[in-house]
Amino acid sequence: MIIDWKRVMGLLLPLLFLVLAAQAQILKPATWSHDVSAQEVKVGEEVELIFNAKIIPEWYLYSSDFDPDLGPIVTAFTFQKHPSYALVGKIKPVNPKKKYDNTWGGEYTYFTKTGQFRQRIKVLQPTLVVKGSYEYQVCSEVNGQCIPGEGDFNFTQIKVLPGAAPAATPAPGTGTTNNGNTPTPGAPASEANTNVPGTATAAPASTNTALTSDTSLLSPDAPVTAFPQAEDSARANSADPLLTQIAETTAAVENGSEQESLGAFFLLAFMFGLSALLTPCVFPMIPMTVSFFTNSSTTRRQAVFKALVYGFSIIAIYTLIGVVFARIFGASEINYYLSTHWLPNVLFFIVFMVFGMSFLGMFEITLPHSLVNKIDAQADKGGFYGVFFMAFTLAVVSFSCTGPIVGTVLIASAGGEILKPIVGMFGFSLAFALPFTLFAVFPNLLNSLPKSGGWLNSVKVVLGFLELALALKFLSIADQVYHWGILDREVYLALWIVIFSLLGLYLLGKLKLSHDSDFPYLSVPRLMLAMVTFSFVVYLVPGMVGAPLKALSGYLPPQATHDFDLAAMLRKDGSTQNETCETPKFAEFLHLPHGLIGYFNLEQAKRCAAEQNKPIFLDFTGHGCVNCREMEANVWSDPQVLKRLRENYVIVALYVDDKTELPQSEWVTSTHDGKVKNTIGKKNADYQITKFNVNAQPYYVLMDENENSLVTPIAYEKDVQKFIQFLDAGVAAYKAKQTQAQ
């Protein structure tokens, strides 16, 4: 028998290409491995676990250290409970990049090419067992796809040597998801974190350690080299932990990851310092203090030198406050506690309300007179010792005006970053000390200062209104995390509209408060400020009926909390949509955009499609899929697209990243990886992989009630006309199939 090999190859090659093409759709943009800082440790010692991610070009991995409620899936590590170890502090991403995203309305952190996370543990028993899992999300910068992923880890390379008995230690490691977020009452496991006070900082990673790759979905790959700056800062382990953390943050600044945010915060604090100068407690003290230096010094040179000492003393006092605040509130173990827990946010809300009412003239915040008198007595001793205490006296005497402003700067910096409160207080004190020093060096400039008067109290009142507006942000954070429902988007906007309207009326002289002076006419600067204020109010008003107000998205509650979204109603374009055939499962927490009606369970959608004789529009999506939101905002919102979705299809949205646990009767064992899928997201993601051999979102499939695809599915397609053609082709294919069946 003669075999025609050319003919055989002609038949096999196309088949081979089809197989390869099908396999290529399971994308693996990130591969994971893990390492340890030391392979040999003793009981009672600490060791650092190192998680490395290698990311292919044009993809990025979300980090673990941004607000988990922002939208994208933060990388989270779950450690199984075992008495042989205790977690020390939170998981630390090493030098992630930062970016502000208009779609999410906030700043997130991410990695490209390589990523690294570190977690310190304390060894408590000779038999060490450290196992767990991780979840993450990667997205493409080119094709707009996002892929959630998960994997397991098991650190078997650590050898525990016989040695010292364990000292007093924190509670043993527990099964917790350690993504840097503190657990809150009733919070899901993905938001939990075991944090232990008094932790040391990162230890240097060994460079010759064998790496073990642990992942269920991704292939093992080469390890990622540890960042050298992390090793440098770790060598300060024996030093003060505060100084070590400063060294780590400084290394991040040198690499550009913190520079932008710290620079912006410095400028903000500097502006706060300038505003503090324009308060009734401070402004009149400028000429009084400068006169003291010029009259008490025998020579001009001595007066200038004392003025410089005075200015540097002011900066030193306020910067010292920042250092103390950094030590107390900058520790890693309470970083996310301050940002997400209800207690500190409600306390900050109350503090800001008190500050605001004080500035409006309801009462004054003052320090005890005995303390003021003692410090003032020290200032009378003269010399450079007296100059320092004169600066201290200024800080104390002006506290009723500067206290709320200083508090605002410090609260704004209370996010766990060691340098931020220090930088904030340095910026504030620099602006605060600058005029005292300049006018002392150049006393003739005093003649150019405006006279004290009612305008100083007006500045104070304006700051009071701003404090009231800012207070709502803290209450809103607690309200969103705990779903209290007391400060939804329209309530928040209504309060802001009232506050800034009253501020505008005050600037126009239509509203008068205590301590205000009468003014015969309206000055041009005051009129301009009133115009800006009312313009801001006009910008806010459309938000009451659903306008997105993108410029304020980082400060406002989510759009989903808006009860009366008129903008979404108007986008219906008069088209109609049939009611659902049965009550959609999970509709209490999953939603479709633009007022669309549909399902979040495929079986329900299939039954409804058979009943209504319509094809199914299957949307593989995710809470953290930014490109899914872009498709919904830019393509789905088109009137022609909405009309087709409403009238021609049964819509079903399958969220691949939702962590809601299903009843045990609905769990499935994957034929892809053999794992049990017990949540909505894992079950939907597994269905996408096993049915369509695709694991990226967004992904749109048009099918009939028997799950037969009608046309070739599409992914990220921002061309509205192509998307309309896609929908029309699905309807045509469905009708043709029905005609053939008849």
Task: Report how far apart, in Å, the C-alpha atoms of 194 and of each of 81, 95, 329, 613 are.
Answer: 11, 22, 17, 52
Say which residue the tokens 């290529």 belong to. 24
Instruction: Decide if 601 contacts 586 (C-beta within 8 A).
Output: yes
pLDDT > 90? residue 557: no
Region 187-213 average pLDDT: 36
Q: Who's near 383: CB < 8 A, 6+ residues apart?
A: none
Residues 627 and 709 in one domain: yes
Report the alpha-carbon distance of residue 659 to residue 150 in Å, rounded. Answer: 12
| Six-digit token string for 171 | 């509670």
Q: Which of 51, 78, 95 is nearest to 223 (CA)?
A: 51
Cβ count within 10 A of residue 461:
22
Task: Check residues 603 and 188 and name the one with the higher pLDDT.
Answer: 603
Residues 237 and 364 in one domain: no
In a domain, 528, yes or no: no
The predicted pLDDT at position 623 comes to: 76
Report the alpha-carbon distance of residue 598 to residue 581 in Å, rounded. Answer: 10
Lowest mean pLDDT among 559-568, 672-681, 683-692: 559-568
Say which residue the tokens 């042989």 belong to. 84
Say which residue the tokens 């459309």 belong to. 542
Task: Report how far apart, in Å, the C-alpha atoms of 634 and of each of 360, 593, 641 are.
Answer: 44, 12, 10
Q: Who's near 450: CB < 8 A, 6+ residues apart?
A: none
In a domain, 310, yes or no: yes
pLDDT > 80? residue 149: yes
487, 506, 534 - which closes a domain: 487
Lowest mean pLDDT among 365-369, 650-654, 705-709: 365-369
Instruction: Decide if 220 contacts 33 (C-beta within 8 A).
Output: yes
Amino acid at 239: A
- Helix (H, G, I), strand (E, B), or coil: what is residue 272? helix
Task: Check residues 6 and 550 and name the one with the higher pLDDT.
Answer: 550
In a domain, 4, yes or no: no
Q: Which of 707, 646, 653 is nearest to 684 (CA)?
A: 653
Q: Is the dihedral of CA 227, 232, 236, 238 positive or negative?
A: positive
Instruction: Decide if 86 contacts 169 (C-beta within 8 A).
Output: yes
Region 682-687 average pLDDT: 92
Residues 64 and 154 in one domain: yes
Cβ count within 10 A of residue 224:
23
Residues 139 and 281 in one domain: no
431, 452, 487 - which closes a domain: 487
Residues 465 and 351 in one domain: yes
- The DSSP element (H or E) to which 387 belongs, if any, is helix 383-397
Taking the CA of residue 600 as centre, how many other CA atoms within 13 Å lie in the half-sphere pointing to its CB?
A: 21
Could you tell me which residues are beta bridge partners of residue 52? 33, 116
The predicted pLDDT at position 713 comes to: 93
Cβ count within 10 A of residue 536:
16
The predicted pLDDT at position 483 comes to: 59
pLDDT > 60? residue 189: no
Residues 143 and 200 in one domain: yes
User: Of the spans 101-115, 261-275, 313-327, 531-545, which averages the highest pLDDT?
Assistant: 531-545
254, 284, 306 - which closes a domain: 254
Instruction: Locate the DSSP E strands across 171-287.
Output: 176-177
- Helix (H, G, I), strand (E, B), or coil: what is residue 519? coil
In a domain, 600, yes or no: yes
State the chain's mean pLDDT as an integer: 74
Say how far residue 393 (Cα) sits from the centre of its chain.
39
Long-range contacts of 326-329 (CB under 8 A, 24+ apart): 326/242, 326/418, 326/419, 326/420, 326/421, 326/422, 327/242, 329/410, 329/414, 329/416, 329/421
Instruction: Locate the DSSP E strands across 124-158.
Output: 131-140, 146-154
Q: Which of 489, 659, 632 is nearest to 564 (CA)?
A: 489
pLDDT > 80? residue 720: yes
Lowest mean pLDDT among 48-52, 433-437, 721-725: 433-437
Residues 79 and 155 in one domain: yes
In a domain, 11, yes or no: no
Q: Starting from the edge strand earliest in sequence, which strands make up the sheet with 85-93, in order?
A: 30-36, 46-55, 114-123, 85-93
Task: Check residues 103 and 682 and name the one with the higher pLDDT.
Answer: 682
pLDDT > 70? residue 69: yes
Largest CA distance in the chain: 119
Q: Which of 368, 329, 361, 376 is nearest to 348 (CA)?
A: 329
Task: Report how far apart, in Å, the C-alpha atoms of 179 and of each of 83, 150, 152, 194, 626 are.
Answer: 21, 14, 15, 10, 20
Task: Check residues 214 and 56 and name the one with the higher pLDDT.
Answer: 56
- Helix (H, G, I), strand (E, B), or coil: what is residue 657? coil
Say how far residue 146 (Cα) sits from the centre of its chain.
19
- Helix (H, G, I), strand (E, B), or coil: what is residue 373? helix
User: Of the spans 180-189, 194-203, 527-536, 565-574, which averages the highest pLDDT?
Assistant: 527-536
661 phi, psi to nearest 5 deg: -80, 135
The predicted pLDDT at position 61 comes to: 93
Task: Report how far apart, in Å, the C-alpha atoms of 535 and of each of 254, 500, 505, 566 are.
Answer: 40, 10, 13, 22
In a domain, 510, yes or no: no
pLDDT > 70? residue 125: yes
705 phi, psi to nearest 5 deg: -70, -10
Task: Check residues 41 and 287 and name the one with the higher pLDDT.
Answer: 41
Region 699-718 average pLDDT: 92
Please name the residue ranges forming H helices in 398-523: 399-412, 419-441, 454-482, 489-507
Please write the tens of the pLDDT for every residue from 246-258. 444 444 434 444 4
- Helix (H, G, I), strand (E, B), or coil: what is residue 662? coil
The pLDDT > 70 percentage for the chain reads 64
Task: Check residues 620 and 449 and name the one with the higher pLDDT.
Answer: 620
Report the alpha-carbon distance of residue 574 to residue 577 in Å, rounded. Answer: 10
In a domain, 8, yes or no: no
701 phi, psi to nearest 5 deg: -125, 135
The pLDDT > 90 percentage for the chain reads 24
The predicted pLDDT at position 522 comes to: 86
Give the structural domain span for 141.
29-254
Amino acid at 615: P
Instruction: Decide if 395 contacts 241 (C-beta within 8 A).
Output: no
In a domain, 241, yes or no: yes
Amino acid at 346: V
Q: How many domains are contained in the chain? A: 3
Instruction: Decide if 504 contacts 538 (C-beta within 8 A).
Output: no
Amino acid at 25: Q
- Helix (H, G, I), strand (E, B), or coil: what is residue 73? coil
- 420 — pLDDT class (breaks 50, 70, 90): confident
Lowest mean pLDDT among 204-213, 292-301, 534-543: 204-213
Q: Which of 70, 221, 47 is nearest to 137 (CA)?
A: 70
Q: Starting from the edge strand earliest in sequence, which strands make up the sheet with 616-621, in order?
A: 650-655, 616-621, 699-703
Report the alpha-carbon distance of residue 115 to residue 323 in Å, rounded. Answer: 31
Please write the tens of the pLDDT for every residue from 558-577. 666 677 766 555 544 444 55
Report the alpha-carbon distance of residue 496 to residue 471 in Å, rounded. Answer: 11
Q: What is the CATH classification number for the domain harbouring 157?
A: 2.60.40.1250
The predicted pLDDT at position 514 comes to: 79
Encode burial over 315-335: b for 16+ CB neighbours within 10 A, e otherwise.
bbbbbebbbebbeebbbbbbb
Residues 246 and 269 in one domain: no
Please write the tens of the pLDDT for every residue from 576-591. 555 778 999 998 888 8
Region 333-337 average pLDDT: 43
Q: Is the dihedral of CA 380, 383, 386, 391 positive or negative?
A: positive
Residues 213 and 289 in one domain: no
Task: Check residues 620 and 740 and name the one with the higher pLDDT.
Answer: 620
Q: Is 360 exposed, middle or buried (0-12, 13-18, 19+ CB in 10 A)?
A: buried
Residues 356 and 235 in one domain: no
Residues 219 and 277 in one domain: no
Residues 479 and 430 in one domain: yes
Q: What is the CATH classification number for the domain harbouring 578?
A: 3.40.30.10
Lowest mean pLDDT among 366-380, 518-532, 560-574: 366-380
DSSP state of 585: T
Task: Check residues 20 and 627 and name the one with the higher pLDDT.
Answer: 627
Lowest mean pLDDT among 162-171, 213-222, 358-367, 477-486: 213-222
- Helix (H, G, I), strand (E, B), or coil: what is residue 76? strand
| Six-digit token string for 623 | 């809470």
148 phi, psi to nearest 5 deg: -80, 150
pLDDT > 70? residue 236: no
